[in-house]
């Protein structure tokens, strides 16, 4: 007989519904209908949250867990872990975690472990993992400690990423700046590589033979020499499972100077991230060795110094362009919304700064818009901008939470990943929501949350403007525990939502509120213009000496369910938009500044 309370508690969880099929009668817990109220309360709590939660109860520490925890079980342990003893499910790491269970059950004191290393076998192989989690006591109806509540998050990727960044830094520091012979060059490089837990073998080959000059770590495998011979003959990088073989070619096209072999570790999956890390390492050593050989061949030290400075500037430009291509992308096309984006750097010599925009659809059909501005105006700000944009996009798409919750989780990620004070930014996340089954052209709800960002402006279908002014929450990166609020406003067919960074309205000689009212006045009456033209109308506020980057996102609700042609109105010679939604300049003169009206918006309690 099924217990009604158990049916209710597990109804909204995929793992919970699987838990209904467990033969609980065969476990020490017995049928759910006989479970004490304290256990029932813990089970309801477990299945009511999206955060990863696992609990154990009874003498065998019988496991119950939710959807969030299911991912931590890999591909092999679920669903067999439901109703199983914890010591059986986690047998390979039981020696590491059983003292924590014992401490909670004995003392009643909660534990906290940060980035704890655990060598798991959850997907068919021994896997290096890291977790931050807390074990807390659970009491029965008589006040006895009979269980443990585990609230956890896996930090493996963050720990591994930080470690790999440290490896890159260590290799950079170890790279010799002069070249006398291959062995003397390779010794410090291989030593630095061998210090990385992600490198099980590093070897440098002389092309004569070929033969090993310097090596460390595991022994040579059977297929390694064949890959080295192929790399020498082809002059191309060879990537096999668990191994990258990089030929170092002379920049004068006189052949291959040496070959670098890097082999990964078996306790990390050989995925795209691992391959990318190994390729970055190998190309770094490749470039360093090639540069050292070239420097030896040059007699003029001053000329050499100039060449190196020029190469560094070229690399910085490549990084900037790579960030531009990766971050300042065109928005996707939506069936019933037109979205136009624009980016304009403050200075011609800098391709990208700390401002960013984003637009994407989440799995529930909502459209998410993002605008943000990292504090700072250098390449470091641009790099941090790319990280924050990726965090917001990943969390927003995966969680499908409200904008306030997304920003809260981004704050937590900034703190958990230790991104530091450079990760301070204003940001605004907005979701354009439409009720399921609702036809295009009807009212939609825009739900947004602002982390210290300038307020959105809504251009209604009748040409009037509303400044959606609300009390801002703290900037991102200032306080990971700060609560954030959602706000909402309804938009109808033909309404246009305008998001922008402060570079559009901030000047040294005008008050921000006055410039905001001026922008609203400029946008008023643009309801019938193409969005590309509206962007240019907004940019008409900027003086020729603007000293800050500008990012703009505009979205217009289409009454007929199709995208309009605003994004196709591209001006052939435009350079200020840096390749992003280039639109023709507006022929309409800016309107006189008028104060924006009070928005029809409301704060949404979460």
Give a yes or no: residue 533 inside a domain: yes
C-alpha torsion sign, points 523, 527, 532, 533: negative
CATH number at residue 65: 3.30.450.20
Residues 390 and 442 in one domain: yes
Nearest to 497 by CA among 557, 579, 565, 585: 557
Using the predicted structure, report yes or no on whether residue 425 has a pLDDT greater than 90: yes
Nearest 10 degrees: CA dihedral of 510, 512, 514, 520? 130
Give a yes or no: residue 555 inside a domain: yes
Q: Calculate the alpha carbon distances from 354 to 376, 391, 535 in Å.
A: 6, 15, 20
Place of tokens 């109105």: 569
Give a yes or no: residue 321 inside a domain: no
Question: For position 293, what pLDDT does the model report?
Answer: 84
Q: What is the mean pLDDT of residues 126-130?
A: 96
The verdict on whether omega for the bond into residue 167 sits within 30 degrees of 0, i.e. cis, is no
Question: For position 294, what pLDDT does the model report?
Answer: 81
Using the predicted structure, report yes or no on whether residue 98 has a pLDDT greater than 50: yes
Lowest mean pLDDT segment, chosen from 2-11, 66-75, 138-147: 2-11
Distance between CA atoms of residues 451 and 483, nearest Å: 11
Residue 11 banded pLDDT, cuts 50, 70, 90: very high
333's CB contacts (< 8 A; 6+ apart) are 563, 567
Question: For position 443, what pLDDT does the model report?
Answer: 84
Question: For position 440, what pLDDT does the model report?
Answer: 57
Give a yes or no: residue 52 inside a domain: yes
Q: What is the mean pLDDT of residues 502-527?
A: 87
pLDDT in tens, 207-232: 988 999 999 999 998 899 999 999 99
Residue 576 banded pLDDT, cuts 50, 70, 90: very low
Residues 406 and 492 in one domain: yes
Using the predicted structure, report yes or no on whether residue 86 has a pLDDT greater than 50: yes
Using the predicted structure, report yes or no on whether residue 439 has a pLDDT greater than 80: no
Give a yes or no: residue 318 inside a domain: no
Give this prediction's pTM: 0.48
Give a yes or no: residue 85 inside a domain: yes
CATH number at residue 384: 3.60.40.10
Question: For position 559, what pLDDT does the model report?
Answer: 63
Residues 224 and 172 in one domain: yes
Residues 144 and 198 in one domain: no
Give a yes or no: residue 307 inside a domain: no
For 283-328, give the DSSP string: HHHHHHHHHHHHHHH---HHHHHHHHHHHHHHHHHHHHHHHHHHHS
Question: For position 546, what pLDDT does the model report?
Answer: 59
Q: What is the average pLDDT value for the chain, to the nearest integer?
A: 86
Give a yes or no: residue 315 inside a domain: no
Residues 348 and 244 in one domain: no
User: φ, ψ for residue 550 (rounded to 5)?
Assistant: -135, 130
Q: How many CA atoms lie within 13 A of 507 on its CB side?
A: 16
Residues 427 and 529 in one domain: yes
Residues 539 and 563 in one domain: yes
Question: For position 583, what pLDDT does the model report?
Answer: 35
- Count structural domains, the chain: 3
Domain stop point among 111, 136, 154: 154
CATH number at residue 286: 3.30.450.40
Question: For position 2, what pLDDT does the model report?
Answer: 64
Residues 442 and 369 in one domain: yes
Q: What residue numbers bound the domain in which 270 lies?
A: 159-297
Angle formed at CA 398 by CA 394 and CA 401, multiple of 5 degrees: 105
Confirm if 104 and 111 have CB atoms less than 8 A apart.
yes
Q: Give the strand order in the sheet containing 127-139.
A: 62-65, 53-57, 145-154, 127-139, 111-120
pLDDT in tens, 449-502: 999 999 999 999 999 999 999 998 999 999 998 899 999 999 999 999 999 999
pLDDT in tens, 167-188: 999 999 999 988 889 999 999 9
Residue 317 banded pLDDT, cuts 50, 70, 90: low
Domain stop point among 128, 154, 180: 154
Residues 514 and 596 in one domain: yes
Q: What is the mean pLDDT of residues 395-411?
A: 94
Residues 12 and 112 in one domain: yes
3-state secondary structure 32-85: HHHCCHHHHHHHHHHHHCCCCEEEEECCCCEEEECHHHHHHHCCCCCCCCCCCE
Residues 288 and 391 in one domain: no
Using the predicted structure, report yes or no on whether residue 191 has a pLDDT greater than 80: yes
Distance between CA atoms of residues 61 and 67, nearest Å: 19
Q: What is the mean pLDDT of residues 44-48?
A: 96
Using the predicted structure, report yes or no on whether residue 572 has a pLDDT greater than 60: no
Q: Which residue has the higher pLDDT, 452 or 593?
A: 452
Residues 570 and 468 in one domain: yes
Q: Calculate the alpha carbon distances from 202 to 35, 187, 288, 320, 497 in Å.
A: 57, 11, 16, 31, 54
Lowest mean pLDDT segment, chosen from 103-112, 146-155, 542-551: 542-551
């Amino acid at each position: 007989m099924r217990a009604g309370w158990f049916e209710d508690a597990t109804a909204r969880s995929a793992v919970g519904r699987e838990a209904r099929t467990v033969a609980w009668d065969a476990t020490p817990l017995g049928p759910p209908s006989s479970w004490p109220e304290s256990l029932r309360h813990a089970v309801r709590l477990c299945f009511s949250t999206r955060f990863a939660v696992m609990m154990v109860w009874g003498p065998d520490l019988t496991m119950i867990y939710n959807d969030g925890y299911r991912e931590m079980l890999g591909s092999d342990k679920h669903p067999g872990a439901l109703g199983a003893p914890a010591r059986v499910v986690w047998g390979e790491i039981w020696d590491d975690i059983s003292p924590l269970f014992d401490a909670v059950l004995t003392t009643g004191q909660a534990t906290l472990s940060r980035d704890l290393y655990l060598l798991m076998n959850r997907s068919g192989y021994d896997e290096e993992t890291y977790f931050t989690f807390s074990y807390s006591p659970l009491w029965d109806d008589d006040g006895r400690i009979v269980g443990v509540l585990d609230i956890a998050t896996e930090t493996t990727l963050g720990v591994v990423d930080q470690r790999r960044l440290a490896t890159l830094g260590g290799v950079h520091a170890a790279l010799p700046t002069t070249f006398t012979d291959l062995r003397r060059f390779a010794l410090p490089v291989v030593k630095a590589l061998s210090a990385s837990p992600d490198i099980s073998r590093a070897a440098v080959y002389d092309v004569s033979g070929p033969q090993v000059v310097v090596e460390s770590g595991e022994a040579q495998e059977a297929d390694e020499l064949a890959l080295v011979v192929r790399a020498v003959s082809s002059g191309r990088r060879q990537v096999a499972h668990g191994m990258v073989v990089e030929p170092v070619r002379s920049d004068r096209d006189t052949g291959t100077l040496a070959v670098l072999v890097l082999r990964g570790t078996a306790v990390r999956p050989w995925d795209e991230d691992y391959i990318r890390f190994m390729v970055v390492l190998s190309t770094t050593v490749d470039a360093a060795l090639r540069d050292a050989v070239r420097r030896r061949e040059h007699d003029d030290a001053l000329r050499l110094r100039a060449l190196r400075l020029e190469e560094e500037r070229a690399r910085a430009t490549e990084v900037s362009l790579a960030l531009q291509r990766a971050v300042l992308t065109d928005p996707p096309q939506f069936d019933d919304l037109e979205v136009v984006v624009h980016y304009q750097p403050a200075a011609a010599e800098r391709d990208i700064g700390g401002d960013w925009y984003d637009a994407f659809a989440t799995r529930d059909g909502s459209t998410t818009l993002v605008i943000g501005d990292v504090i700072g105006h250098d390449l470091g700000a641009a790099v941090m901008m790319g990280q924050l944009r990726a965090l917001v996009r990943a969390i927003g798409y995966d969680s499908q939470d409200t904008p306030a919750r997304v920003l809260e989780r981004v704050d937590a990620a900034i703190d958990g990943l230790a991104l530091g004070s450079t990760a301070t930014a204003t940001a605004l996340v907005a979701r354009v929501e439409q009720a399921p089954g609702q036809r295009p052209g009807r009212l939609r709800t825009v739900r947004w949350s602002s982390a210290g960002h300038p307020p959105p402006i809504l251009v209604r279908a009748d040409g009037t403007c509303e400044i959606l002014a609300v009390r801002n929450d703290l900037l991102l990166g200032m306080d990971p525990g700060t609560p954030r609020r959602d706000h909402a406003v309804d938009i109808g067919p033909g309404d246009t939502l305008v998001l922008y960074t402060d570079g559009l309205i901030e000047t040294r000689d005008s008050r921000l509120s006055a410039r905001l009212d001026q922008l609203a006045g400029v946008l008023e009456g643009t309801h019938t213009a193409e969005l590309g033209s509206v962007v240019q109308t907004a940019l008409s506020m900027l003086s020729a000496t603007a000293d800050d980057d500008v990012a703009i996102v505009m979205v217009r609700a289409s009454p007929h369910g199709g995208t309009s042609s605003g994004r196709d109105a591209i001006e052939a010679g435009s350079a200020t938009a840096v390749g992003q939604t280039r639109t023709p300049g507006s022929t309409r003169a800016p309107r006189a500044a008028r104060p924006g009206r009070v928005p029809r918006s409301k704060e949404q309690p979460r």
